[in-house]
C-alpha cells in the first residue's frame, strides 16, 4: 500500500519537472513551429552548471536557489544567442531550423562530456529540505514536495503571464496566427527570441532543481528530450494546459512503468502518444495538427 503512495508522489514530482521542461518546448513549438531538439541539452547544461555552482568553484559554494537563478539566466542567454545567431539566419525554413537544433544538441552533449567528464555528478539535497514531512499518518520526502510546490507556482505564473499580460497576449496572437500578428504590428521575430530564452531558462531551471533527484550524467539530454516530445504530442502544441496534463500523465506512466514493467517501461511510455496520434492528432488540448 505504501509503495503505491511513494510511487504516486514520485510520479507527481517527476511530472512537475516535466512540466517545467515541456512548457517551454510547447511554447517554442507553438510560436516558431519547430520542435526544439536542443531542449534536452538545455536541461542537461542547466543541471551541470547548477551542480557546479552548488558543489563549489574553488571552494566557493553556493546555495542551490542562488545557483538555480544564475544557471537559469546563463542558459536563457545562451538560448537567446542561439536563436539570434543561428535560427534567425533561416527564416521560415522550419526543416533547416530543426536540423540546426539537432546539430547544436550533439555539440552541447560533447562539450558537456569534455568539461564535466563521464562520471555522474550527484547534487546534494538542500539542507533545509532534507528529511520528511508528516501529513497525518503519511510521510513524504520534503524536497519532492518542494518540487511539486515550485512546479505549481510556475504553472500559475506562466498562466498569468500568458493570459493576463500584454506580452502573453502577443505570444498567444503569434501562436494562433503569426502573419496576422505581424499585420497588427507585433514584432513576431522579437517574440521568437523572448520565447526561446524563456523556454531555455525553464528547461535549465528544471534541470537544476531536478539534480538532487535525477543526478547529472552524460545522456541526460537524450533521456529528457523524448519525454518532452511525448508530453507535447500528448497535450497538444502551444497549449500550457496541454503540457500540464501531459506531464502529469507521463510522470505517472514513467514511474509506474519503471516499477511494474521494467523491460517494457520505455514502450509503455510511448503508448499514450501512439493512441493520441491515432485518435486525436492535434493532441488533447491542441488546436492544430503539427
Measured from the CB atom, the residue of 212 and 246 that comes closer to another protein is 246
- 266 belongs to the binding site for another protein (CB under 8 A): yes
Going by the DSSP 8-state scheme, the letter that residue 121 receives in this structure is B
Query: 115, 167, 260, 289: which one contacts another protein (CB under 8 A)?
Result: 289
Q: How far is the CB of 91 from another protein (least distance, A)?
A: 6
- 64 belongs to the binding site for another protein (CB under 8 A): no
C-alpha distance across the termini of the chain, in Å: 41
Residues in region 33-52 near another protein by CB under 8 A = 33-35, 37
Residues in region 69-88 near another protein by CB under 8 A = 86
Phi, psi for 138 (deg, rounded to 5): -95, 150
Q: Which three cell numbers stand for residue 49?
A: 552548471
Measured from the CB atom, the residue of 36 and 74 that comes closer to another protein is 36
Q: Which three cell numbers stand for residue 92?
A: 521560415
How far apart, in whole angstroms, are the C-alpha atoms of residue 45 and residue 56?
Answer: 16
Q: Which three cell numbers stand for residue 202?
A: 525553464
CA distances from 277 to 25, 80, 145, 273 (A): 18, 32, 33, 6
Q: How far is the CB of 250 from another protein (least distance, A)?
A: 12
**Interface stretch with another protein, choices 48-56, 93-101, 127-135, 137-145 (CB under 8 A):** 93-101
139 - beta bridge partners? 134
Q: Which residues bind another protein (CB under 8 A)?
A: 33-35, 37, 86, 89-96, 98-100, 102-111, 114, 222, 226, 229-230, 233, 262-267, 269-270, 273-274, 277-278, 281, 289-290
Amino acid at each position: 500500500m505504501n509503495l503505491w503512495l511513494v510511487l504516486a508522489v514520485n510520479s507527481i514530482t517527476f511530472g512537475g519537472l516535466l512540466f517545467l521542461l515541456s512548457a517551454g518546448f510547447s511554447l517554442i513549438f507553438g510560436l516558431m513551429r519547430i520542435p526544439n531538439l536542443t531542449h534536452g541539452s538545455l536541461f542537461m547544461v542547466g543541471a551541470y552548471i547548477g551542480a557546479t555552482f552548488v558543489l563549489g568553484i574553488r571552494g566557493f559554494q553556493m546555495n542551490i536557489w542562488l545557483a538555480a537563478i544564475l544557471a537559469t539566466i546563463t542558459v536563457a542567454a545562451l538560448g537567446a544567442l542561439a536563436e539570434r545567431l543561428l535560427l534567425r539566419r533561416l527564416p521560415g525554413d522550419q526543416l533547416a531550423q530543426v536540423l540546426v537544433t539537432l546539430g547544436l544538441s550533439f555539440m552541447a552533449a560533447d562539450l558537456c562530456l569534455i568539461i564535466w567528464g563521464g562520471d555522474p555528478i550527484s547534487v546534494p539535497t538542500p539542507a533545509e529540505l532534507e528529511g520528511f514531512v508528516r501529513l497525518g499518518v503519511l510521510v513524504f520526502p520534503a524536497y519532492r514536495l518542494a518540487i511539486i510546490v515550485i512546479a505549481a507556482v510556475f504553472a500559475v505564473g506562466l498562466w498569468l503571464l500568458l493570459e493576463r499580460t500584454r506580452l502573453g497576449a502577443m505570444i498567444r496572437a503569434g501562436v494562433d496566427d503569426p502573419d496576422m500578428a505581424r499585420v497588427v504590428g507585433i514584432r513576431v521575430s522579437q517574440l521568437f527570441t523572448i520565447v526561446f530564452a524563456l523556454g531555455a531558462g525553464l528547461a535549465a531551471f528544471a534541470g537544476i532543481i531536478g539534480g538532487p533527484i535525477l543526478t547529472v550524467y552524460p545522456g541526460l539530454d537524450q533521456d529528457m528530450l523524448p519525454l518532452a516530445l511525448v508530453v507535447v504530442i500528448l497535450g497538444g502544441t502551444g497549449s500550457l494546459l496541454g503540457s500540464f496534463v501531459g506531464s502529469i500523465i507521463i510522470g505517472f506512466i514513467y514511474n509506474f512503468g519503471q516499477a511494474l514493467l521494467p523491460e517494457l517501461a520505455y514502450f509503455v511510455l510511448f503508448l499514450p502518444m501512439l493512441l493520441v496520434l491515432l485518435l486525436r492528432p492535434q493532441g488533447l488540448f491542441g488546436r492544430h495538427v503539427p
